[in-house]
Amino acid sequence: MSVDGYLETLRREGRIVVVGASLAGLRAAETLRAEGFAGTLTMVGDEPHEPYDRPPLSKQVLLGKVPADHTVLPRRRPVDAEWRLGAAATGLDLAAKQVRLADGDAIDYDRLLITTGVRARPWPRELEADLDGVCVLRTRDDAIRLHHRLKAGPRRVLVIGAGFTGSEIASACRERGLPVTVAERGPAPLVGALGGVVGEVAAELQRAHGVDLRCGVQVTGLEGDSAGRVRQAHFSDGTAVESDVVVVALGATRNTEWLADSGLGAGPRGIACDAGCRAFDVRGIVTDDVFVAGDVARSPHPLFGYQFLSLEHWGNAVSQAEVAAHNMISASADRRPHLWMPSFWSAQFGVNIKSVGVPPMADQIIVTQGSLAEQRFTAAYGYQGRVIAAVTFDQAKWLDFYERQIEQAAPFPPEFTTVDRRPEGLQPVPAGFPDPSLPSHGPTVTLSGHSPTDRRVSFTPRRA
């Protein structure tokens, strides 16, 4: 059968399976239908809920403004799918084109989309992690549990990790009037995402709102009482804090274990795919019927040196899902690249934080508008003489402009004058990111051999 004929049949009566029934999965399903896919669509999700939205979980939900079960994602159109909720996928057979489920079922597909996202990284010491009062926040159920804890009026909350989620949780605690300690290994909150200069502003913000912020310390142990409830945390500087709720906000782990022996290029850093969202296998060859989107994907971005970016951003999940869905049912000439400009937002301590581009790539930063001291500013990030990212605190209206600057690889530092340019923004300074040469995650793929003939690609599974 001709390729065109195959596509025709696929669109009319093909079988598409989506594993991961959350934001990316739902938006992909809607796009498939919107673009005329008439075959069978199966949505596999290990959570028992229909797709819901996560950003409110660390914001309105913790404040009690929105109940956790009111975060269901609005539907853009009917998707007419078979929903397999509460059913985890446990394996993938690329050759047989089959997804295996935990309940023993297997589902055949013609095209597969993987959107299994990430999960919260748990507290590494299992006994301590099991103490009553030790929480994480990723799912709706997590949010319900944490909200109950906060409502009960704990004497003090300890948040471990001052990334976006940790900072938002701390913000919600303060808004509820709860004493909160934040422990951060780095020199300031948000430092990994936004660098030290902006991190300092975030630190100021936390302290001004009464957070007991402790930077440059690690939590060395959690201690429980005789009833198994968490009671105290010990820090690397020898201090300790009494706390009856501990929220572990140490980032996320990609949900790729179920693909371990599948032959797909999937590991702890996600599933590598091309700009068209087609997954790579472990040999680095692109597959033609397996697509990926959302937090679990790593895809190359030409603007950023073809770096494989893994983005845990809401907007990315939506846009990548739409591109993936389109490409799944399109001829190769009609396929589109996912060239989304990385961007995200956060709301904490009354400030609306937004970012475009990839700040952590930057070596320098300059405040182009507003002022750090007023906590209302736009900062441009530079990398090798070009603008690579921008961050705003309560100045989101300027972001479109900076986005264009990034797209155009505009020179850094910017040469033009702007409205609201202050003296402090006349000189760039080091952006203050942690040294990228320090190892963070293990490699997923390694190269061996010297001469071209004995060069080998080997896949290194996640370390236990």
Partner 1 sequence: MTSVALLHRITDYANRPDPYPLYAELRRTPVVRDESGPYLVSTYWEIKELLHDPRISSDLRNLTPEAARASGQEHDPNLPPAFIRLDPPEHDRLRRLSMRPFGPPHTPRRVFDMHGELEEIVSGLVDGLRGRDTIDLVDDFSYPFPVTVICRILGVPREDESHFHEWADTIAAGLDPVGTAEEREAQVQGVRRARGELAAYLAGLIEERRRSPRDDMLSAMATEHGPDGQMSPVEIITTAALLLIAGHETTVNLITNGMLTLLRNPDVLQRLRVEPGLAVPLVEELLRFEPPVQMLPQRTTLADIDIAGTIIPKGASLYLMVASGSRDPKRFADPDRFVPDRPDNQHLGFGHGLHNCFGAPLARLEAQLALTALVRRLDGPSLVEDPPPYRQNAVLRGPRHLPIAFSGIIG
Ligand X SMILES: Cc1cc2nc3c(=O)[nH]c(=O)nc-3n(C[C@H](O)[C@H](O)[C@H](O)COP(=O)(O)OP(=O)(O)OC[C@H]3O[C@@H](n4cnc5c(N)ncnc54)[C@H](O)[C@@H]3O)c2cc1C
Residue numbers at the binding site for ligand X (CB under 6 A): 19-20, 22-25, 44-47, 54-55, 57-58, 88-89, 115-118, 137-138, 165, 255, 258, 294-295, 312-315, 317, 344-346
Q: Is the dihedral of CA 331, 292, 96, 50 positive or negative?
A: negative
CA-CA distance, 327 to 10, in Å (whole number)?
Answer: 12
Give whichever of 48 and 449 is closer to ligand X, judged by the CB atom.
48
Q: Which of 324, 163, 161 is nearest to 246 (CA)?
A: 161
Tokens of 188: 């300031």
State the nearest-atom distance from the C-beta of 394 to partner 1, in Å: 9
Q: Is the dihedral of CA 306, 312, 314, 318 positive or negative?
A: positive
Number of residues that bind partner 1 (CB under 8 A): 17
| Residue 407 interacts with which of ligand X, partner 1, none, CB < 5 to 8 Å by class | none
User: Which of 327, 355, 369, 392 is in the footprint of partner 1 by CB under 8 A?
Assistant: 369
| Residue 79 interacts with which of partner 1, ligand X, none, CB < 5 to 8 Å by class | none
319 binds partner 1 (CB under 8 A): no
74 binds partner 1 (CB under 8 A): no
Cα radius of gyration rounded to whole Å, the chain = 23
For residue 411, give the DSSP letter. B
State the nearest-atom distance from the C-beta of 414 to partner 1, in Å: 10
Burial of 66 (0-12, 13-18, 19+ CB in 10 A): middle
State the nearest-atom distance from the C-beta of 319 to partner 1, in Å: 16
State the nearest-atom distance from the C-beta of 432 to ligand X, in Å: 23
Interaction residues for partner 1, span 375-414 (CB under 8 A) = 376, 378, 397-401, 404
| Residue 419 interacts with which of partner 1, ligand X, none, CB < 5 to 8 Å by class | partner 1
φ, ψ at 260 (rounded to 5°): -50, -50
State the nearest-atom distance from the C-beta of 353 to ligand X, in Å: 9
Give whichever of 171 and 255 is closer to ligand X, judged by the CB atom.
255
| Region label for 43, one of left (φ > 0), alpha (ψ between -120 and 50) or beta (otherwise) | beta
Tokens of 251: 């980032």
For residue 74, give the DSSP letter. P
* Distance, first Cα to last Cα, the chain: 45
| Residue 191 interacts with which of ligand X, partner 1, none, CB < 5 to 8 Å by class | none
State the nearest-atom distance from the C-beta of 144 to ligand X, in Å: 13
425 binds partner 1 (CB under 8 A): no
Q: Which of 36, 94, 116, 100 is nearest to 286 (CA)?
A: 94
416 binds partner 1 (CB under 8 A): yes
Cβ count within 10 A of residue 5: 9
Contact 110/15 with Cβ under 8 angstroms? Answer: yes
State the nearest-atom distance from the C-beta of 461 to partner 1, in Å: 45
> What's the longest Cα–Cα distance across the chain?
71
243 binds partner 1 (CB under 8 A): no
State the nearest-atom distance from the C-beta of 120 to ligand X, in Å: 7
262 binds partner 1 (CB under 8 A): no
Give whichever of 49 and 376 is closer to partner 1, judged by the CB atom.
376
Q: Which helix (H) or strand (E) holds 171?
A: helix 164-175
| Residues β-bridged to residue 131 | none
Give whichever of 181 and 378 is closer to partner 1, judged by the CB atom.
378
Give whichever of 239 and 418 is closer to partner 1, judged by the CB atom.
418
| Residues β-bridged to residue 214 | 183
Q: Which of 24, 16, 21, 19 is nearest to 293 (CA)?
A: 24
Pairing of strands 118-120, 134-135: unpaired
| Residue 116 interacts with which of partner 1, ligand X, none, CB < 5 to 8 Å by class | ligand X
Give whichever of 251 and 434 is closer to ligand X, judged by the CB atom.
251
| Residue 20 interacts with which of ligand X, partner 1, none, CB < 5 to 8 Å by class | ligand X
State the nearest-atom distance from the C-beta of 380 to partner 1, in Å: 11
Binding site for partner 1 (CB under 8 A): 368-370, 374, 376, 378, 397-401, 404, 416-420
